[in-house]
Structure formats: C-alpha cells, structure tokens
Amino acid sequence: MPDSLPAWFSLSELTFLPDMSTLAGYTLAAFILAITPGPDMALFLARTVAGGKQAGFAAMLGASTGMMGHALLAGFGLSALLAASTTAFTIVKGVGAFYLVFLAFQAIRHGSGLTADPSQAVSQSFFRTWLTGLGINLTNPKVVMFFVTFLPQFVDPADPHAADKIVFLGMFFLVVGVPVSVFIIMTAERFSAFLRSSPTLMRRFDYSFAAIMSAFALKLLFTQGR
C-alpha cells in the first residue's frame, strides 16, 4: 500500500504537533472555554446588535488578534512571568478592570447602540471596534489564566519543543473558538431586530451589558496572580 504522503514529508518533523490524545483533550477544554460567557462574548453580541455583522466581525478579529498575542507570549514564557510577578499582574488587572468599567459607563450613559431609530445608533469605525476587541481580549482574566495555568498542562516542560507546542495550541484555540464566535454574531443579527421592536428591552440590554462588564471588572480585580 503506497504512502499517502510524499516521501520527503514526515510527521516526526512537525515538532510543534502534540500527540492525538493530547490534542483531543485540549480541543474539548478549548471548546468549553469558548462557550463560557465572558467579556469577549458580551462584546460580540453588543457590537453586532449596534452595528450589524461587520461590527461583530471587527470585534471578533480584534479578540482573535489578542489571542494570537497571548499564544506568542505564552510560547516565549512571558505569560508565566506575568503571573509570577505581583507588580506586573496588578498593573494588568488595574488597566483591564478600568477598561471594562469604562465600557459599562459608556453603555449606561450613551447606550450600547440599541436605539429604536438605527440612524441614532452610536457608530464606530472598523478599526476602533477591532481595537476594542483587542483590548477586551488582552485583559480578559479567563484567557490570561488559561494560557498561564491551563494550557501548559498539555505540554511536557522537559520537551525541547515545548514553546513551539504552546504556540501551536494557542493558535489552535482560534480553530475552536472562531466558529463559536461566528455563531454568536450570526444569531445576534436576528436578536437585534427583536430588540429594536421594544425600546424597553433595548434599554434593559444596555444595563445588562453594563452589569456584565462591571462583574468581569470585579472578577479581574480579585483574580489571583499565583
């Protein structure tokens, strides 16, 4: 039976690939993390409801960029250093919490873009929405702690290619998480039409969004770095 791969190709040369059982366990863990409500998910929903699919995908791309950054930092050991340094972790917690509270304040004061008249909705450029998604993801405690304490469990620290495998697993999280995000964005588009039929529901959504962001700000402040 001939080989299905070229003679020059060998899986053993792909040193960044974990074994299949490890990859299967990681995939399940990543899926559970992806479907767990968090700041990223709340942002995708709010931005899609406010500005449509384009805004939702802009926020998703920003969050995905942040995820790539986490993967690279973890691969080079910087995420572990961040968790070990009380000062560094405190700074990240403070900045992240302030940012989330700011978004909550904006939702209450100006609304999250859910107005009865779409022409009155607060609009943001693609870049600003992307930047918001990036900021939310980079300071998301769920993602930070995932890369610092959970992801390394799928890699043997004695493995000479451990850093490569951490980067691969970090990037692979996007393969699992992006379809979940796309589903949220596509569903939010329909949810938007429903909310616009009731100003009362729209305002409740604004307050709910603010409450979610405030709750995650508190969670971020009380997240332990060790």
Write down the pLDDT at residue 121: 46
Q: Is the pTM of this model over 0.85?
A: no
- Would you kindly state where each structural domain of the chain is located, as residue ranges? 37-222
The DSSP code sequence of the chain is: ---SS-TT--GGG-TTPPPHHHHHHHHHHHHHHHHS--HHHHHHHHHHHHH-HHHHHHHHHHHHHHHHHHHHHHHTTHHHHHHH-HHHHHHHHHHHHHHHHHHHHHHHHH-SS--SSGGGS----HHHHHHHHHHHHHT-HHHHHIIIIIGGGGS-TT-TTHHHHHHHHHHHHHHHHHHHHHHHHHHHHHHHHHHHT-HHHHHHHHHHHHHHHHHHHHHHHH----
Q: What is the pLDDT along the chain (226 residues), one digit of tens a residue?
A: 455 555 544 455 677 788 888 899 889 888 887 877 678 888 888 888 778 889 999 999 999 999 998 888 877 775 566 556 767 667 766 777 787 788 788 778 876 554 444 444 456 789 999 999 999 898 877 677 677 666 767 877 677 777 788 888 888 999 999 999 999 899 886 766 666 677 777 777 778 878 877 887 787 677 654 4
